[in-house]
């Protein structure tokens, strides 16, 4: 598989800039309660290829569970990324909103679909995973909504 070219973006105020190589040309959506509280809706993200994410500016990160952290701009509060912190994990789910038109990538997967509010739905034929399916895919036992 040929690596994709790097993409660059910025937070709302421009204080944080990011550059990364996408792991794939696709956008994913998370409907878990934490993502909805963090972003006001579903968290739309693009996975960074391992070791390729570079961020400059006032990045603030915090542990959102025993196995994940979230980062935001320290100036404007824009969500930047969600990262698994398990040993051996190098997954950064970077906010698609940082990139112009979400880098033009299509939505290919939704997770926590069983937690999604009824008031909205994403169209299209793509993979949809429940909370249990997603947690099993990353090797974490279901302990409620903590992410």
- Which domains, and CATH codes, for the chain? 20-137 (3.90.1590.10)
Q: pLDDT tens-digit profile of 85-102? A: 988 888 899 999 999 988
Cβ atoms of residues 94 and 47 within 8 Å: yes
The pLDDT value given to residue 145: 47
Q: What is the average pLDDT score of the chain? A: 93
pTM: 0.91
Contacts of 91 (CB under 8 A, 6+ apart): 47, 48, 50, 83, 84
Residue among 59, 82, 58, 87 at smallest CA distance from 70: 82
- Res. 3 pLDDT band, cuts 50 70 90: confident
Q: pLDDT tens-digit profile of 12-44? A: 999 999 999 999 999 999 999 999 999 999 999
Cβ atoms of residues 52 and 92 within 8 Å: no
Cα–Cα distances in angstroms (integers) from residue 46 to residues 66, 75, 144, in the given order: 22, 22, 25
- Res. 147 pLDDT band, cuts 50 70 90: low
């Amino acid at each position: 598989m040929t690596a994709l070219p790097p993409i660059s973006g910025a937070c709302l105020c421009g204080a944080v800039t990011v550059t990364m190589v996408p792991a794939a040309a696709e956008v994913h959506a998370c409907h878990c309660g934490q993502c909805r509280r963090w972003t006001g809706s579903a968290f739309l993200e693009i996975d960074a290829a391992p070791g390729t994410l570079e961020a400059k500016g006032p990045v603030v990160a915090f542990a959102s569970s025993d196995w994940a952290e979230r980062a935001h701009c320290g100036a404007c509060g824009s969500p930047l990324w969600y990262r698994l912190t398990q040993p051996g994990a190098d997954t950064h789910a970077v906010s698609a909103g940082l990139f112009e038109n979400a880098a033009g990538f299509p939505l290919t997967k939704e997770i926590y679909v069983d937690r999604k509010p009824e008031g909205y739905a994403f169209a299209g034929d793509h993979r949809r995973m429940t909370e249990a399916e997603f947690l099993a895919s990353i090797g974490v036992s279901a302990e409620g909504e903590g992410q």
